[in-house]
Amino acid sequence: MKRALLASTSTLHEQDYLEYLLPEIKSFFKDSKEVIFIPFARPGGITHDEYTEKAAVAFKKAGIKLRGLHEFKDMQTAIASAKGIFTGGGNTFLLVSELYRNKLMAGLQQAVKNGVPYMGTSAGTNIAGLTMQTTNDMPIVYPPSFKTLGIVPFNINPHYLDPDKNSTHKGETRETRIKEFHKINTQPVVGLREGSWLLVENNKIALKGELSARIFKLEKVPFEIETGSELNELAEA
Amino acid sequence: MKRALLASTSTLHEQDYLEYLLPEIKSFFKDSKEVIFIPFARPGGITHDEYTEKAAVAFKKAGIKLRGLHEFKDMQTAIASAKGIFTGGGNTFLLVSELYRNKLMAGLQQAVKNGVPYMGTSAGTNIAGLTMQTTNDMPIVYPPSFKTLGIVPFNINPHYLDPDKNSTHKGETRETRIKEFHKINTQPVVGLREGSWLLVENNKIALKGELSARIFKLEKVPFEIETGSELNELAEA
């Protein structure tokens, strides 16, 4: 049975890294002696070691040991025998490229199917969707495919931002970008605001945190769902 | 000799489509009886016909006839014999995919080398760079390559936005995204603010409009260049 904790962001304004998620992390990984950290998204270009250290410091506060996937000689075996997995945020194109380059995407997918708890923040949450095609990131590297883990039967837009009605900027709003996505793709998109997360367990996908989420379905007017709601029925008919 | 007019945006706040650029368009295309419009980027999912009509209305104000590339049975020949080309904004991934799918990228590049005046706005400007990898758009479709026209020897980030110091949002700033780009790529990036454009003629690349532009070079602190400056020396050493 799949278990996943998929957060829009790692960090809230004026908080430490993962601070608001610590109680959730503690309960989510309560049976995981050690969690494997996937540092490939490298936010701001930080090294794998630096990023792992940062995540390990936060996880230590929740009493959980973290180890960087890049430290393993055989990363495929490390994923196959993992007791818990956390993929940090950063650049989604880089993350997806590295997962494919190291032949880890299928193994990661299988591990989650086998019930290994998977946590993601930002880019790590984006790849839990069917494809990475609703990322906000720059295409700094060319991945072999946009297909991702499909832990949930829809796409996720992390760091979802409502249109700023006072803005004079003419770049596309997030809503316009997702509308363009739906001219070519059919799957629903969950706009997950900072402070929200999805909790996947017991065959249910629930919205958690204080905020509502914005749902974009093909040829439908976008709508809000309240925290606590289940998103299972979002999957395509 | 290459000639290009590369605008950050088609539209300024509280103005009509292309309004602020009309005098520039008139002079840039003064020898072009007819300009071919590339509508592939489909902003907001607008159809090729609708988009061409919108652009034609604006160009008519500058006294120039516009015709959509999609109206030609043989698009490759249309590009090869074009007297002027304008690529509109929208989604860069879709634009680049369609250019490759219709086998137009090389012909477009050749036409510009032959001296056919090329105008772009937003996505149409982004593809004038070496690669599309500093686009702000969502990867709604998977293009066969990120390589683009290389009319200028650097990358362009259209709709460049300065970091908002009052923001509580934790998504990456544009500057952070470009910094991540430079962890993997070496070419300079020109952050082109709305209202700015690059004018390429007489072997010179000049910044035009009222604003300065922000320049990002590998391992250098980002810096501003004033309007009227030449950008030729930005190319890699």
The ranges assigned to domains in chain A are 4-160+191-210
Question: What are A161-175's pLDDT values in tens digits?
Answer: 988 888 888 888 899
Q: What is the pLDDT of residue B236?
A: 54
Question: What are A219-229's pLDDT values in tens digits?
Answer: 999 999 999 99
Q: Which residue of B has its CA nearest to A193?
A: B169
Q: What is the pLDDT of residue B47?
A: 96
Residue B101 has pLDDT above 70, yes or no: yes
* Residue B3 Cα, gap to closest chain A Cα (Å): 26
Residues of B174-210 as b/e, b for ≥16 C-beta within 10 angstroms?
bbbbbbbbbbebebbbbbbbbbbbbbbeeeebbbbbe
Question: What are B103-143's pLDDT values in tens digits?
Answer: 999 999 999 999 999 999 999 999 999 999 999 999 999 99
A11 touches chain B (CB under 8 A): yes
Residue B225 phi, psi (nearest 5): -120, 145
Confidence grade of residue A233 (pLDDT, cut at 50, 70, 90)? confident
Model ipTM?
A: 0.93
Could you give the C-alpha distances from B195 to A189, A211, A222, B2, in angstroms and in order? 33, 36, 32, 22
Question: What are A47-57's pLDDT values in tens digits?
Answer: 999 999 999 99
Residue A145 has pLDDT above 90, yes or no: yes
Q: What is the pLDDT of residue B2?
A: 95
Q: Which residue of B has its CA nearest to A155?
A: B140
Question: What are B213-236's pLDDT values in tens digits?
Answer: 999 999 999 999 999 999 988 875
B13 touches chain A (CB under 8 A): yes
**Residue A176: strand, helix, or coil:** helix
Chain B residues whose CB is inside 8 A of the A146 CB are 139, 142
Q: What is the pLDDT of residue B218?
A: 94
What does the alpha-carbon distance between residue A42 and residue A48 come to, in Å, rounded to a whole number?
7
Sheet holding A189-191, edge to edge: A155-157, A189-191, A213-216, A223-225
Q: What is the pLDDT of residue A236?
A: 54
CATH code of the region A4-160+191-210: 3.40.50.880
What does the alpha-carbon distance between residue A223 and residue A78 come to, in Å, rounded to a whole number?
41
Check CB contact under 8 Å for B45 and A180.
yes
The domain defined by B4-234 folds into Rossmann fold (3.40.50)
Contact B236, B186 (CB under 8 A): yes
What does the alpha-carbon distance between residue B16 and residue A165 come to, in Å, rounded to a whole number?
18
